[in-house]
Chains A and B, each alone.
Chain A
Amino acid sequence: MLKWLDERTGWSSALVRLGQTPVPGGARWSYVFGSALALTFLVQAVTGLLLANFYAPSSTTAWASVAYLQREVTLGWLIRGLHSSGASMMVVLVALHLLQVVVWGAYRAPREVNWWLGLVLMALVFAFALTGYLLPWDQKGFWATQVATSLLGETPLVGDWLRRVIQGGGDYGNLTLTHFYALHTILLPGTLTVFVVVHVRLMRRHGVTPLRASGDSQPFWPHQALRDVTAMAIVVAIMFFSVLRTHGAPLEAPADPSSAYDARPEWYFVPLFQLLKYFPGRLESIGALGVPSLIGAVLFALPRFSRRAAAAVVLTILGGAAGLSLLAHRDDARNEGYRRGRARADADAKRALELAALGVPPAGGTAVFDNDPERRVRQSFETRCAGCHVLDGVGEERAPLLTGWSSRAWLTDFLKQPDAAKYFGKTKKLHGMKPVKPVGDELNALVEWIFAQGGGDVDAALVARGETIWTRESCDDCHSADGKSEGVSGAPNLAGRGTLAWIEGLIRDGGGPLYFSDHNEMPRFGADKLSDEDVAALARLIAAGRTPK
């Protein structure tokens, strides 16, 4: 079978030839970086393909799908983590590879073209990192990438056009994700593959460059092969280890364009980020584009440099980057505001992921927070109650105020002016209650008695006194407080008024005999409109106003 295939393709002789490729100066550990990079790229391709099976690039689904694959799909966290640590690994290996090539003098004639191809490959690796960072559409990726695209827009002449083309319009949205996704998964991999093939072909044409010229050489197989494959194993082991240690790449809260988020790029862009701090205002584009362009130009011209000078240049660049990263780190450590923001973002991220377990509403992204019971109840208040009631500044004033509803302060104010606009001033049938006459201590006592109907900590002596005032002032001409009898002209029975059960009953049917009976104007919220849980949550929300914090 293999023989049959070999006769037609010659694959085994090709392999043998590959194995016999001479390694000048003998097998060396210093030659392993290229193949380690190739393997990392392969890992990225495989994990990327896996992730693509569960990822949906749109502003409504990106975050939700990543959250899903991160927490629901078997080993999703591991695959995503490997893809992320693979990106870091590529940057590290690119730097090591570059350093090795420079120190060994492999960048010089006749290998200039391959050196330049290597530089293009390096740029592609950074482009991969940049485009991939946005795809989860979380706070971190969203804000960090904003910085990158707005800097791109600063490019002279074509900047604005370029930015709009790449980000799919003037603003971030669906097209930004589809564009970045196409770049990240189709254009960049295709381009990189072509360049890698040419790069490797050229490398095989010229051979590796031994540090010191020596006559003897060794075939690739098996000595160099063993070194290469060992390096690959170490790289993969480091990636696994870092993913297991951190439980994969973090996923922050969904992108929220309205939030204040102090963005930091991924570590390999931090030097550039720090550099921008030193180029204030209009000079920023010099820092953002000028410095990297300068570095690019110097690296391009490197084949004209001696080995010593070239090594000095590359070490300066790497050292400078490391120094800038340290400075950035120190700045953040000293920045109290940043640390607080960071803690908040972490808490948001945790909460968002928990809530995503219930499924993300179709609006996607930040709509995941609607799963939060607190948000849900506020939403049902907005849709069901806010047309007539005001609560915490939300809603219209057509029926009694619900902010601090039936707290002592609310009751005191209400008793003084029941027909004020914020209470029953705007209802049609519910009128006729007169302001109560008692003031000062007597009013306080009456309020305490009414408050006591809803339970909670009360002053018993004051309640007892309040009850006598309630009778004396003939409140019971209209109101009952026995929990059984219907009041006059829609005056509610005050027994249990303010308890959760009382509020729930009112929401379900305000026209009940113990509530506003035939004077009721509030819609009934039956089981078809609000579930038991929704009613209970609303009751809790309203009752919370009785005891302001």
Chain B
Amino acid sequence: MTRRRLLGALVGAVATAIGVALAVPAMAFLSYPARRRTVYGGGEPIDVASLASLPDGKPVRIVVTAPERRDAWTRFTHVTLGGCWLVRDGGDVRALSTVCPHAGCAVDWDAPTGAFVCPCHDSRFSTTGERLSGPSPRPMDALAVELHGGRVRVAWQRFKTASVKKEPV
């Protein structure tokens, strides 16, 4: 009887060893995207406009295009990352992502009322991006801006929607 048990335990041990030998590399392989970036490029400041071309106080919509972007195995060049509103304030420029913090619709500029309006659920924001009304949980997302030799550079980024905190995705 004990011999039988011993053999049974041996079968279990060998089977477990086979399982572990396969499962460990399988987990390492599968969890690669949890540990490593699979899409990168485009987060750096990108030249979008000249300061002189921006009217003072009136938002201008521009498209941010990355010269190069890696998406897993593909290397794209000239990739449209997204849009943003540039608001010039004298010698300063503010960049506000067009992505609505509520659910991700594209925020528009409503010239008559002088406010940003999201067409989806009617969130309204001031020219500085402050929330005026509507369901948006936070102000419009400001993007990092760099001024360099009369040119405006914007670092485009996407943030989690529907959360009070502004967190990069």
Contacts and interface: CB of A to CB of B under 8 A. Distances in A.
Interface of A: 39, 43, 46-47, 50, 53-54, 61, 64-65, 67-68, 72-76, 78-79, 221-223, 225-226, 229-230, 232-233, 236, 240, 356, 358-362, 364, 371
B28 A75 contact: yes
Contacts of A362: 74-76
B18 A75 contact: no
Nearest to A67: B73
B7 A223 contact: yes
Interface in B22-47: 22, 25-26, 28-32, 35-36
B8 A222 contact: yes
8 contacts: A50-B30, A65-B72, A73-B29, A75-B28, A221-B11, A222-B10, A229-B14, A371-B75
Given A230-B14, A236-B18, A76 B29 contact: yes
Contacts of B28: 74-75
B25 A75 contact: yes
B111 interface: no
Nearest to B9: A222
Contacts of A240: 21
A68 B8 contact: no
A74 B29 contact: yes
A195 B89 CA distance: 73
Interface of B: 4, 7-8, 10-11, 14-15, 17-18, 21-22, 25-26, 28-32, 35-36, 70, 72-77
A64 B74 contact: yes
Contact of B22 (A76, A221, A230, A236): A236
Given A46-B22, A233-B17, A236-B18, A75 B29 contact: yes
Nearest to A236: B18
Given A65-B73, A361-B74, 17 more contacts: A61-B74, A68-B72, A74-B29, A74-B36, A78-B25, A79-B29, A222-B4, A225-B11, A229-B14, A232-B15, A233-B18, A236-B22, A356-B73, A360-B74, A360-B75, A361-B75, A361-B77
Contacts of A47: 26
Nearest to A42: B22
Given A64-B73, A223-B7, A79 B25 contact: yes
Contacts of B7: 222-223, 225-226
Q: Is the interface of B mostly helix, strand, loop or mixed?
A: helix
A103 to B, nearest CB: 27
A52 to B, nearest CB: 11
Contact of A229 (B15, B36, B74, B76): B15
A480 to B, nearest CB: 34
Nearest to B17: A233
Contact of A226 (B10, B29, B31): B10
A328 B30 CA distance: 39
Given A74-B28, A225-B11, A236 B21 contact: yes
Contacts of B14: 226, 229-230, 232-233
A221 B5 CA distance: 10
A230 B21 CA distance: 14
A467 B14 CA distance: 88
Contacts of A74: 28-29, 31-32, 35-36
A359 B73 CA distance: 5
Contact of B73 (A39, A43, A360, A371): A360
